[in-house]
Amino acid sequence: MTPTGNSPKILVTGGAGFIGSHTVVSLVEAGFEPVIVDDFSNSERSVLDGLRTILGRDVTCYSANCNDAAEMAAIFQKEGFSGVIHFAAYKAVGESVQKPLKYYRNNLDSLLLLLELMPKYKVSNLVFSSSCTVYGQPEQLPVTEQTPRLPAQSPYGNTKAISEDIIRDTVNAQVPIKALALRYFNPVGAHPSAEIGELPLGVPANLIPFITQTAAGIRQSLTVYGDDYNTSDGTCVRDYIHVVDLAEAHVQALRKLSESSDEASYDVINIGTGRGETVLNIIKTFEQETGVKLNYTIGPRRAGDVEQVYADVTKANQALDWQARRSLAESLRDAWRWQQKIS
Ligand code: WQD
């Protein structure tokens, strides 16, 4: 897809990351012109090659720090954006407990800078990458956007909750920004081309990359963190959403903001499948879909894990005219195909 001169330019901070890169693909496919700003602190430049292969063209990418005011102002000045999707953030829950100031400084400063630059350069549409982690362990399931946020389980989660409040308060002060905070559940899988996917640095914290690395023989064995929860098979329940479904939700969010005639607005929307899956069922489905037997043991619970969380997606269906279309089996097949490609 070659960009037409008037394709609306969208700033995608963290656009070389896992969700960011998949969203760049969906943006181009929807007729937008994404411009990536990424400091490559948690992503690899090879992602740009993957994007070029999928799209058949280069995507503009600035290697820059989203906290650098002069650099970001120059990019806003030069590019003339129609909207912003803000992914750039540190996201390792465990590391955030060890280094809270690194997380508060990086994740909050980059948002504050964007909120100052957007009105200055007449950019009003903002899609913000938030997380279901703000719910903690919800009382009711599936969890709706009306469910009260609980105190964050980690500084990482707290940066997401505080960021939502910063955007809300900015909009309430009539700063001309229309914003949607998308609360992701568990993004998994990879682009079906296997040209882009998840690139966890070091030992994966998340379940699916640990499963695929175990299946590839990179890890000896998977530990299931606890089977004594009050769930169907004793293991934790999560809402695993294909990363391409998640990417498409961002495009829909941008479209809805562009269509809105509001001067300023703010809303939060859950982005999940609406289905909860246990860890053991993920393992069973992976084995069925790939034919690979997984070596796993049951270990103790992981500190900070919530027992069950999965989304009520009614609002996303209605407000974004969007729903997840890919199955768990497809997510796991795509994740495995990507792992085989990079192994
Ligand atoms: C899923 C389940 C583990 C690894 C994280 C972030 C959250 C959000 C989504 C960004 C849990 C179990 C895992 C393993 C296991 N990210 N597990 N063995 O913790 O739900 O959420 O990703 O917004 O902020 O915290 O995802 O993949 O780490 O764990 O048994 O080796 O798999 O206990 O029940 P989580 P996860």
What ipTM goes with this model?
0.96
Catalytic residue annotation:
156
Pocket test for ligand 1, best of 238, 283, 331 (most atoms within 8 A of CB): 238
Pocket test for ligand 1, best of 107, 133, 210, 278 (most atoms within 8 A of CB): 133
The amino acid present at 242, given as its one-letter code, is: H
Counting residues of the chain whose pLDDT is more than 90, the rounded percentage is 94
From the list 182, 195, 184, 188, the residue with the least C-alpha distance to 59 is: 195
pLDDT at 2: 59
Q: Which atom of ligand 1 is nearest to the CA of 208?
A: 27
Nearest CA to ligand 1 atom 22: 186
**Helix or strand holding residue 315 (H, E):** helix 314-319
Q: Which residue has the higher pLDDT, 152 or 58?
A: 58
The amino acid present at 213, given as its one-letter code, is: Q
Per-residue pLDDT of 44-89, as tens digits, reads 999 999 999 999 999 999 999 999 999 999 999 999 999 999 999 9
- Pairing of the two strands 186-188 and 33-38: unpaired
Q: How far is it, in rounded angstroms, from Cα 171 to Cα 159?
A: 18
Nearest CA to ligand 1 atom 34: 236
Per-residue pLDDT of 283-317, as tens digits, reads 999 999 999 999 999 999 998 899 999 999 999 99
Per-residue pLDDT of 265-275, as tens digits, reads 999 999 999 99
CA of 172 to the centre of ligand 1 (A): 34
What would the mean pLDDT of 113-141 be, rounded to a whole number? 96
* 128, pLDDT greater than 70: yes
Q: Which residue has the higher pLDDT, 138 or 4?
A: 138
CA of 49 to the centre of ligand 1 (A): 29
Q: How far is it, in rounded angstroms, from Cα 4 to Cα 79?
A: 15
